[in-house]
Amino acid sequence: MFLALTGFPLVLLSIIAFIIIIGVIICIHELGHFYFAKKAGILCHEFSFGMGPAIYKKKVGETTFCIRLIPIGGYVSMAGEEVTSDYYKPGLEIGLNFDGDAVSEIILDEKRSAEIRGTIKNADLEGKDGNPLYITLDLGAQDHYFPVKRDAIYVFENNQTLQIEPYDRSFDSKTKWQRFITLFAGPMNNFILALVIYLIVSFASGVPNYKSNKIGAISGNTYPAYDVLKKGDEIKEINGKNISSWTDVQKALDDAFLTTTTINIKFDRKGEEKQDEIEGISIIQSVGLSNVGADKLTPISTDDNIKYKDSNGNELIIDKGLMLGTVSFRNSKMDVSKKSIITKMKVVYDKTDSKALFNVDSYEAVYEIESWMQLINIFKDIKSQAKITFIDYYRINNNGTPKNDTDDYYEFVSESKETTTYTDEVLKSQNVDKVVNLIGISPVMKFDFFMSIGNAFKSFWSDFTLVFRTLKLLIAPSGVRQIGVNNLSGFVGIFGLIEKYIGNGILPLLAFTAMLSVNIGIMNLLPIPALDGGRIVFLLVEAITKKRPSKKVESIINTVFFVLLMALFVYITVHDIIRLF
Residue pLDDT, tens place only, 438-465: 888 999 999 999 999 999 999 999 989 8
Contact 334, 419 (CB under 8 A): yes
Predicted local confidence at residue 400, as pLDDT: 47
Type of residue numbered 32? G
Highest mean pLDDT among 41-45, 314-318, 400-404: 41-45
**How many residues in total does the chain contain?**
581
Q: How confident is the model at residue 376 (pLDDT cuts 50, 70, 90)?
A: very high
Category of 52 on φ-ψ map: left (φ > 0), alpha (ψ -120 to 50) or beta: left
The DSSP call for residue 332 is: T
Please give the distance of CA 364 from its chain centroid, rounded to a whole number: 37
Q: What is the pLDDT of residues 287-339, one digit of tens each?
A: 989 988 888 776 655 555 567 777 777 777 777 888 898 888 876 677 888 88
Evaluate whether residue 439 is within a structural domain: no
Q: What is the CATH number of the domain that holds 222?
A: 2.30.42.10
In a domain, 430, yes or no: no
All residues at 6 or more sequence positions from 473 whose CB lies less than 8 Å from its CB, including other chains: 425, 426, 429, 482, 483
435 within some domain: no
Same domain, 304 and 381: yes
Whether residues 475 and 562 share a domain: the answer is yes
- Is the Cα dihedral 566, 569, 575, 578 positive or negative? negative
Q: Which of 241, 262, 280 is the last residue of a domain?
A: 280
pLDDT average, residue stretch 504-527: 89
Helical axes 491-501 vs 551-580, angle rounded to 10°: 40
Residue that is last in its domain, among 258, 280, 302? 280
Residue 442 lies in a domain: no
For residues 382 and 475, membership in a common domain is answered with no
Within-domain flag for 66: no
Give the residue from 76, 39, 31, 29 showing the smallest Cα distance to 175. 39
Cα–Cα nearest to 36, from 147, 189, 251, 154: 189
331 and 389 share one domain: yes
171 has pLDDT over 50: yes
CA 467 to centroid of chain Cα atoms: 10
Same domain assignment for residues 367 and 260: no
Beta bridge partners of 451: none
Whether residues 370 and 486 fall in one domain: no
Query: Average pLDDT in the 195-200 region?
Result: 96
The domain boundary, picked from 164, 198, 232, lies at 164
| pLDDT range class, residue 490, cuts 50, 70, 90 | low
pLDDT (average), residues 85-108:
91
Residues 552 and 491 in one domain: yes
Element (H, E) at 161: strand 161-163
Residues 530 and 548 grouped into a single domain: yes
- How many beta carbons lie within 10 A of that of residue 193, not counting itself? 24
CA distance 210 to 216: 11
Contacts 24+ apart (CB under 8 A), 394-397: 394/308, 394/316, 394/318, 394/321, 394/340, 394/341, 394/343, 395/335, 395/336, 395/337, 395/340, 396/337, 396/338, 396/339, 396/340, 397/311
Question: Domain range for residue 404?
Answer: 286-421
Domain co-membership, 410 together with 452: no
Local structure of 565: helix, strand or coil: helix
One domain, residues 213 and 312 = no
What would the mean pLDDT of 106-120 be, rounded to a whole number? 91
Residue 212 sits in the same domain as residue 202: no
Domain count, the chain: 4
In a domain, 238, yes or no: yes
pTM of the shown model: 0.80
Residue 185 resides in a domain: yes
Structural domain includes residue 461: yes
What is the predicted pLDDT for the residue at 502? 77
Residues 192 and 243 in one domain: no
